[in-house]
Structure 1
Amino acid sequence: MLATIPNLTDLLTRNPATLKAHGLHGETVAAILAWQQQDEANAVIQAVRQILLNCERHEIELVSWQHPHYPEALRHIHDAPLVLYARGDSGLLSREQIGVIGSRNATPAGLDHARRFAAELSKRGLLITSGLALGVDGAAHAGALDAGYATIAVIGCGLDRIYPNQHRRLGERVIGGGLMISEYPPGTPARAAHFPQRNRIISGLSRGILVVEAGLKSGSLITARMALEQGREVFAIPGSIHSPVARGCHDLIKQGARLVDQVDDILEELGASWSLPAGFTAQEPGDTEPKAERPAVRATDALDSREIAVFEALGYDPQSTDALCSATGLPADQLVQSLLLLELEGLVSSAPGGFQKIA
């Protein structure tokens, strides 16, 4: 019934009988009538006012169905969100996007694939969208940002907090050089049930979904199924037959997902229905200046020279403290202190064999 109303704000002008005829719950009808009567004592009205105040406090933009930046692709999915909360450049929602997802426990090779594919897809004009989770998601966001391009993160909590905490710094980079969105108002904590809900938005925004690594019970496979239900393309990178985080990708390929080992495979599948965004110029090999994008926030912007040296000496495979001491010239006590600070910033993590970058 609500689909017959061209503008949902028109509901605020309807009388009780009409509202009930539209199939609205009694609580909703009561809240609308309270708004019409300017009844500030109504609990729903008070809650809405608090949400608006929190949005203003945290510089969160409301992108409703009537907002010019509400993405057309998202309107047509099942259970489309009526409003998106946004921090950053909401105009990016109109860009052609590709979702990059995968295991939270990705291998070093998987993290490297996510970063490299994200960087190259960005250079070719597609906007990287993911969920800011540990592992593949974070590597994809960082890959786009490090290449000088925007990225969109869809999170499962309010935008006044960044989850997971290890990606606090990465989240700030996303906001500064791209966009972070949620369907949950500020103050909403991260809950397990929010993440499957969040995933339908990632796939709904995207022309296709690239699965980098995934186990057979991975949430990434749920997102891939949602993408298929929404009529999106699904791509998967194959891995070792002995790797548990490759089995989900192999299963998707058996079910008809496109096997990809280079970016051209994705662009070929998207075909003529995809084109570069207006005003966007793809980078030539070796060209380091990003085109038609907002300046990205670099991972090292908040670090001092010693932490920068340690960060730059690290790779995406674990390195021992002895190797890092040799590479940086730092004594062991200063190196350990710098590594601790980098861990607190969510830029590195300890791993068997030493330390490695995660953003």
Structure 2
Amino acid sequence: MRVLILEDDVLMAELLETILAGLYARLDANIVSTKAQALAALDQNTYQLLICDWNLPDGSGLEVVRAIRKQDNKLPVLMISGRTDRESVLAAAHYGIRGFISKPFKVETVRDRLKSIFPPESDLEAANRDLEQMLADACEGHFQLPTTLEASELLALLERPEALDVAQLTERWRDETGLTARLLDVANRSSFRRTGEPVTTLAGAIKVIGTEMSLNLALGLALDTTHALSDSQLREQAEAHQRQGEAVGREASAMFRTLGLGNGVNAYTAGLLSRVGELVVLSVLQQFLDGGGTLDRDTITQTLAAWSQPCGNRQKVQWRLPLDLRELIGAIHRLPRGTSHRERVVMRVAALQVEGAGASGECLRLMRFAGLESRAESSVGDNGE
């Protein structure tokens, strides 16, 4: 599903992409912010849908639609605008626009309109495809992880967004891997780096984006039907990886505080995101099943072993996670030879302890290096050494 999103408000464009990804399993979205960029993109590529803002920095979205209609009368167009006057609506209708949504909009409204314009079941690209190719595509593209949040809860919160502050939302969402990744992705777009520093925590991302837009992005994920795990075996595996990531985050966060390396929030974020590769692979396997494929336990195990690392590494880049955070995540799985950064060493120690290898030679050596002598001695004593 190839979509061109023409929207100069970056937050709004990211929200639209989130909604689209929740409807179409193989979304390929191109976001542009000016009339000139849109015309160039349309000249170079073929799209199945155009979502278009009316007011642009260099003209009007309607001018883009006029240019399209000279060559293509069938491309579905969804116009989103703050203009709701009768003349604007009639002008849009004259050019065959399939939907007109006024700002500010509700996520459910856009989602329903998209479903009527381009039914998700008509997007057959994900069906009966080669599993290896699906995994390769997931590694290269922008993949959206599901969330366990309830849409009804988020809708209720959106009724009174001013009643929630950053700290309250952070506490509610601290264990939501998919949402944390998405909010960090949005917050770390270059246009939001107002201080020149990357955002590395959930609280920082919510602060940059704002509570209301964060709630809308969360609702977009909660309504996602294309990445949800309906197969019990895949869901159980995902839950196990989620628990492991949370446990590593908690352990590393406590060690950071013990060693005076900060409040440990970055460490918790790194732990939470340390299993994104596995979660992406499991979600692709679900899409493969939904498309008519079959899986056995050995295939699932082998696929996770082969694809989790490349998918995870690629998604961390695609999601625009800061380099320091990616290095903390990487250290959970493997420390590069000669590493002397205490923060990364602690991440690896936390992972080994959660894996039950706290008394191993590697773990004890790293604990002493990091300054966790008392914990190292405790680990030896607990194992009778």
Normalised TM-score (structure 1)? 0.32
Greater share of residues in strand: 1
Greater share of residues in helix: 2
